[in-house]
Structure formats: C-alpha cells, structure tokens
Amino acid sequence: MKASRSLLLVFFMMMSLLVISCAAPAPGAAPAADTGAAADGAVKITVFSPQGPDTDLATNSFTQEAEEMFNIDFEWQTTTMDGNSAREQRQISLASGDYPDLYLLIPWVDQFTQLDLLKYGQQGVLLPLNDLIAEYAPNVQAALDNYPSFKAMTVAPDGNIYGVPQLIECYHCSYANKLWVNTKWREALGLEVPTTTEEFAAMLEAFKTQDPNGNGQADEVPLSGSVEDYGVRPIPYLMNGFTYDDDRTFLILNDGQVDTVANKAEWKEGLAYIKGLYDAGLIDPGAFTQNAEAYKKIGDNADAQLLGAGAGMHPAIFVTVGPEAPYGADYDAIPPLTGPNANYATYLYPSVAGATFVLTNKASAEAQVAAIKLLDYMFTQEGQLRAHYGEEGRDWRRPEEGDVALNKEVEPIFFQIPAPAGEEPHNSSWGAMAQYFQPKAFRDGWVQSTDPEEYYNWPGYERRLQDATDLYAGKESPDHFPFWALWPDPATADAAALQRQNITDYINQNALQFVTGAKNLDTDWDSYVAGLEQLDLAGYLATMQAAYDASAVK
C-alpha cells in the first residue's frame, strides 16, 4: 500500500500557481536576502526527516542551494520511508526530550496529527508560527488567506498555528472513487456507456455472459476492486446512485445537523442493489478482501484479459500502463451512475490535516527565521519547481513553442523531463518532502502530451486523468461532511477516535455481510440499526456536531 501511495504522489500530485493579490509579493518571488542569521556564520538547524534510498539529504543539490540561499547549516536526523518506523522514531524523539529544531515530514509516511499539534503545542514543545509567518512568510500567509480549507486545517481552535501542512490540490485525487470500464469489451459488444444503475448492471451481465475476451471460457471478471483507501472499494461508487457515500465517515449534513447515511432507507436500497450484482456473479468476491497487488494480478492476467471494470483513482492501480502493456489502454472512466435517488461522486479534499513543517522550542531565534523563510520559498512557484522537481534543464524545463498545458485554456508552466532508462537518481530535490504549495492552478499548467497514442501512456497520462475527473467534479453532495477540516477536542479525542473507528468498522462489516448474504436485509436490518444505536451513535454525532460548530468551514 505504501509503495502504491508513493507511486501516486510521484506521478500525480503535482503543483500549481497561487494567485496572490497585488498587495502581496508575487508567488514566484524569491525571499529577501536577509535571513536573520547570526553574524558569525551559518545558522545550524537540526532536522528530522524521512529519507528514501535514492536520496542523500546531506549531499542533495537542493539542500546545498537552500543552505546557501538562507545561510543555513543543516544537520540531518533521518528515518526510513516506512510509516510505522518513522512514526515510532518521531514519537521516541519527542518523548526523550532529545528532539530537533525542525521536523520536515511527508504526509503518506508520517506527520503530526492535529491532536499531536494541540498536545505538544500547549506543552510548549512546538512553537506557534503566527508571528513568524506574519513577518517573514508572505506566501504562506497568502495561501492561508486564499484557501479556506487549508486555513481551517492549519489554524488550531486556540488561534495558533503549531505546524503547517502541505497544500496539495491534486484534482484527480479529489475524486478518487472512479469506475473504469473496458472500452474494448464494451464496444465489441455494441454497448453504450452506462449512465444509470440499471444500464451498468446490464453491461456487467454482458461482460459475464458474452465472452468479450473471445477465449471461449466463462472466465471474465465483470467488476473488481480492493480494500485500500485510494478509490478502489466498489461500494461507494455504486452507493452514490442511492445516497451520498464519502467512503470514510458515512456522515452527512442535514440543514447543518450532522447525521449518518448508514441507517437510512436509501442506504438499505443501495445495499440491495449491490447485493443483486453480487448474487448474479457480477462483482468479484475478492473485491472486498484482496489487496492492490492481488487486484492488479487480475488486471494483468497474461493468458487472457479478465477484467471488465475496476474501481480506482486511476487505472494504473489495477493494470500496468505503458507502451508494452497489453491492456493499459483499454480502460476509460464512466460518469457517476444515476440511481433512483441520487447521482453523486465522492469528494475528498486532497490535503492531509496535521502538519509536516513543525518548529520546536529547541530552535534558536535565528533558526526560526531561516526555517520559516525556507518554508515560504517552498510556497512559491520557483521554490516548488526547484525543491520538489529538481534542477532546471535536467529534471524539468520551461515551456517551449508547441507545448500544451494540462488545462488547454491556460499558459503552460513547466515540463517534467523523463529520466533516461537506467540513469542513476539525480539526488537533486527533496521530492514529496517539499510538496508544500500545489494548488490546482499550477497543476493545470503542467505540460502534457496531446498525442492520442500517448494519452494512455505516461507522457499523456495525467491528461487522461484530468478528463476522467471532469466527469465527477462538482457532483459531490452539497451537504457533504468536511471531516478533514475539523479539529479534535483534546479532552475527548481519544474516546471519539475509538468511537469513530468502532462505528465505521461496524458499518463496513455489516455492508459486506448484507451484500454477500451473511446477513439478510429483510430480517436483519432492524437489528443492524439497533446495533448502531448501541455503539452510542447519538453521542458520536453530538461530538461531530460540536467539532463542526467550532470549525471554520461552516
């Protein structure tokens, strides 16, 4: 799972340009030359960071440029890219009291949670950054001013900023719960793109019974998926024709009141539809139990193409994509299905709440200023290109005549230069550790191929995802619950987290039991609803209501 998530970030979480008011410095502007460093030499900053096998932060060329630009002398304390190990080492460093001046982290490896920020901030271990940002970080301040969800997840309830998360607006990641259909099979069987739940079921039935792979065997898998978090679970896509399924909390807002969708008649109706698909052999049973590796084995089956449709953020999750891949060009996204009650698409704000940039009380005044100016640089267009992508001319280049941006309506901004096969890693950027400012506007300026042959390959793959996401964008429920922007109450956070886990596990487990027939929707539904109530659903909703009422996203 971690490797897959790394691949997603490498290929698909790109950057964008913030439009800042004329009163603020231009987003691409370099910071002032004065770093606030001590007069007798460079400012030493100890940094705790994850480090991958292709990077040596001590000798990295961006490290060297940053040291010169901001008069810093970095001392690195590195950990691995394994999330469990990195998290454990970070926690040990904090518990021991022997912690660094600065933590620079990666969200999908490890970062400070909002509860961590409140706990260590109120203990005085973490420094409030408000004044530093106001005085030395105009680009960070502009991001806070211009992106309400980013501000909501950055500013703690007490008004302090104890750490800064990465602002990532990965467009296709925002609508991860997509459904990709084998266009070759669909066209061979003379089927139109399904737009309703009924048409979708009919297409899957045709995939199952009409031998679209042409091998004379009933070996086709009409629909599959897996169990990870990046859009691969089939139930949310299918449920969104009946009621809104956010694939995380199962919460909704009803006139500003937090409620759950998972005990309503529409949820039951959606489960009955999905059970019908399952009973007809149209959903792979492994979709509810297998991991991404097993899922991809179905998509890449060498003897015959087996997969008719797959759930996922993008098709490379379940089928190899590339010029030599036999099936990678066969899958296209279809729109959200219109069901009896709804036509929704699941939305998730792609930035991760918490913080990846955190200054501690070990940092000297000079180190604080130098570090915040470094962060501010990474909130600029030039800083993102250099820190995240690497060296100009080697790792990326400026646009050339004929280049077309991902969004064809905007001017192109940069082109990522593919590394030649077999070439040694450049060790020229901080990669995902530097993904601080990637709103959609800059991403839209990423140069992508317009060659139809490359639309299904890496040179044009992001354009394929952009077009797919256009089918889903804006179709989330207007009453979706913005859980990513809510701060926990430290006094009740542990109990609330356990309660949320128990309730979401219960909903997921029962959904699977209803779909597979282990439980009966006619005879067991009332006891299922009663079981939710016994888990103190009312108390949990009250806790979520209080968090929502206290948030900045109402």
Could you give phi then psi for residue 61, rounded to 5 degrees?
Answer: -70, -30
CB within 8 Å of 92: residues ≥ 6 apart:
none
**pLDDT tens track, the chain, 554 positions:** 333 333 333 333 333 322 223 233 333 333 333 344 444 589 999 999 999 999 999 999 999 999 999 999 999 999 999 999 999 999 999 999 999 999 999 999 999 999 999 999 999 999 999 999 999 999 999 999 999 999 999 999 999 999 999 999 999 999 999 999 999 999 999 999 999 999 999 999 999 999 999 999 999 999 999 999 889 999 999 999 999 999 999 999 999 999 999 999 999 999 999 999 999 999 999 999 999 999 999 999 999 999 999 999 999 999 999 989 999 999 999 999 999 999 999 999 999 999 999 999 999 999 999 999 999 999 999 999 999 999 999 999 999 999 999 999 999 999 999 888 889 999 999 999 999 999 999 999 999 999 988 999 888 999 999 999 999 999 999 999 999 999 999 999 999 999 999 999 999 999 999 999 999 999 999 999 999 999 999 999 999 999 999 998 76
Q: How far is CA 109 from the centre of its chain?
A: 13
Contact of 350 with 16, CB cutoff 8 Å: no
Contact of 337 with 197, CB cutoff 8 Å: yes
User: And the tokens for 262?
Assistant: 């998972």
Contact of 519 with 126, CB cutoff 8 Å: no
Q: What is the DSSP string of 169-235?
A: --HHHHT---EEEEHHHHHHTTPPPP-BHHHHHHHHHHHHHS-TT-SSSS--EEEE--SSSSS--HH
Q: How far apart are CA 187 and CA 1, in angstroms?
A: 33
